[in-house]
Structure 1
Amino acid sequence: MNKRKQLIARNFPTAKEETRGLVPQPNYDHPGSAYRLAFDDNEFLLRDELRPVRMQLELLKPELMQQEQGIKSTIVMFGSARIAAQDEAQAQLDQARLGGDAEQLKRAEMQLAMSHYYEEARRFAALVTRVSSERNNPIYVVTGGGPGIMEAGNRGAFEAGGKSLGLNIVLPFEQHPNRYITPELCFRFHYFALRKMHFLMRSVALVCFPGGFGTLDELFETMTLIQTGKCRRRPILLFGRDFWTRLINFELLVETGMISPADVRLFHFVESAEEAWALLESEYDMNPGASSAD
């Protein structure tokens, strides 16, 4: 045996080796037995008292796997799970026209109009992936891992030949990961708070497309963290000025003193993938070969 290997060999077996080498104990391996190794005992790990341990695991698993995959910089894409791709929305509209239901037709027409954002999200993710692939430190798209705008982000990166992340979460109405996420970078969360923390840990920008409660929650938490100095300032891009200004009366917030006039500079409105990327280029050194996005 190589002497140097002897010198640096482990003194104790790994936990994986321990679990693989366990010998069945008929009198003690039955349900309810306390004999199992603590880290190999799901019933024990799922106890209420073990919540802090589970939270730590949910922090560590995505962190360690992203380190292993070399993920250092990300662009986070938020938006509705309900916005369909343009071809799907067109098919739904065609079907609604045949049905003759006025309300269904109106909804289908709106779906087709909103599908514009799916296509822009797809184009933006492809642009980010393609251009940043020339950098020493590429920027990776990260989404919530579900359908709609999330799918568009992962799809754009996939079609550009790059990796992308999906931070999925367990919901009462099961949200399945979309098929465009890089499998090694598809994570599943139980805790919303830790999922949102992972969205921001490596992000150099946040790009928000139209969405509902979940999108607003993620957007306002990010703006609050930046406004209060709890995390570093980074570009926040809101796709679709008309949507966002109709949804949120920012002027009223300033007028009534609920936010300061400077707070409206926390974000920028954009309308296209190219405009969004140009704004990011104005904020960061995006030249090929640059070592980081800072």
Structure 2
Amino acid sequence: MNADKRRSAFPSASEDEQRARRTPDTPQTRSPAYRLAFTDLDFLKRDALRPTRLQLELMKPELLLQEHGVDATVVIFGSARSQRFAKDGSNDDLCGRDYEAARALARLISQAEGGCPEKLMVVTGGGPGIMEAGNRGAHDVGAESIGLNIVLPHEQAPNPYITPELCFQFHYFALRKMHFLMRARALVCFPGGFGTMDELFETLTLIQTGKIDPIPVLLYRKAWWDSILNLQVMADAGMIAHKDLDLIQYVESAEEAWETIRDYCKSTCANHK
């Protein structure tokens, strides 16, 4: 039974909130000091309450995902600027092909074709570009998907393909990135900018240092990644171990990415039996 639905001798927060609204209007009851602490947004936004807000931002998505039965996800990262069509209306540019590949991969993940032992759900950053493609691919086949959006200085809105009940908004990047990985069975990075690099290297660092169990980290379109990253130089200089290069795998198609994810999930489930 959901903990929120258990019978209790104590009144619920909602019940006491309703009772508080029936309090007579006096100078004392109008004072901010008299507000119930959990309904006092001015109080909750104080700098001293940052630890509480961090906990809330961890717990709200966690509880809702648990209630929705989400156990295993595949994370799709990539540029918010990759669009389905080029500005001239064609679909011949690399960004357009990246978009369609991410969309195709999300369809494969959401359908779990080929005997994947777990029900996998696509999770993205919830915005446009590759993120939209991931949620859209799941939507194409009638599957649910997750979006982890974040408040940014410029106008930001979740893409329309996220399952509404699984569309979350974050204030803290750190908590958002934690939620990306808490249920992840694999991470697929399409070409992207600073945000994609941040999420990629945080994942690699967590795997390298043993903070999370190893999962497939797939980079889509090797030629692009080779043009901006030279991890071999880092290894040759002793900045990372040569074995750390094996933390990354390159894929050239949605089908290749899906086969790698599926085989990993089969192997993991077999080892846990």
TM-score (norm 1): 0.85
How far apart are residue 79 of structure 1 and its match? 0.4
The 5 A counterparts of 1:157-236 are: 157-236=138-217
* Structure 2 residue matching 1:21: 3-state secondary structure: helix
Equivalent in the alignment of 2:10: 12
Structure 2: how far apart are the matches of 1:55 and 1:292? 35
Structure 1: how far apart are the matches of 2:43 and 2:114? 44
Contact 2:148 / 2:167 at 8 angstroms: preserved in 1? yes
Match of 1:253 among 234, 245, 249: 234
Structure 1: how far apart are the matches of 2:266 and 2:53? 38
Structure 1: how far apart are the matches of 2:72 and 2:118? 7
Structure-2 change in CA distance of 1:189 and 1:217 (3 Å): same
Structure-2 change in CA distance of 1:187 and 1:261 (3 Å): same
Structure 1: any 5+ residue segments left out of the alignment?
Answer: 1-7, 95-107
Name the % identity: 52
How far apart are residue 183 of structure 1 and its match? 0.6
Match of 2:224 among 226, 240, 243: 243
Count of residue correspondences: 266
Structure 1: how far apart are the matches of 2:253 and 2:153? 34
Deviations 1:34-65 (A, max 9, x none): 10100011111111111000000000000000
Structure 2: how far apart are the matches of 1:113 and 1:157? 22
Structure 2: how far apart are the matches of 1:133 and 1:122? 18
Bigger drift between 17-26 and 244-253 goes to 17-26
Contact 1:75 / 1:206 at 8 angstroms: preserved in 2? yes
Structure 2: any 5+ residue segments left out of the alignment?
Answer: 1-5
* Structure 1 residue matching 2:25: 3-state secondary structure: coil
RMSD of aligned Cα (Å): 2.4
The 5 A counterparts of 1:45-60 are: 45-60=44-59
Pick the structure with greater CA Rg.
1
Match of 2:88 among 71, 84, 93: 93
Structure 2: how far apart are the matches of 1:231 and 1:85? 34
Contact 2:116 / 2:266 at 8 angstroms: preserved in 1? no
Deviations 1:78-112 (A, max 9, x none): 100000013xx2xx225xxxxxxxxxxxxx99x93
Contact 1:79 / 1:150 at 8 angstroms: preserved in 2? yes
Contact 1:78 / 1:150 at 8 angstroms: preserved in 2? yes
How far apart are residue 283 of structure 1 and its match? 1.7
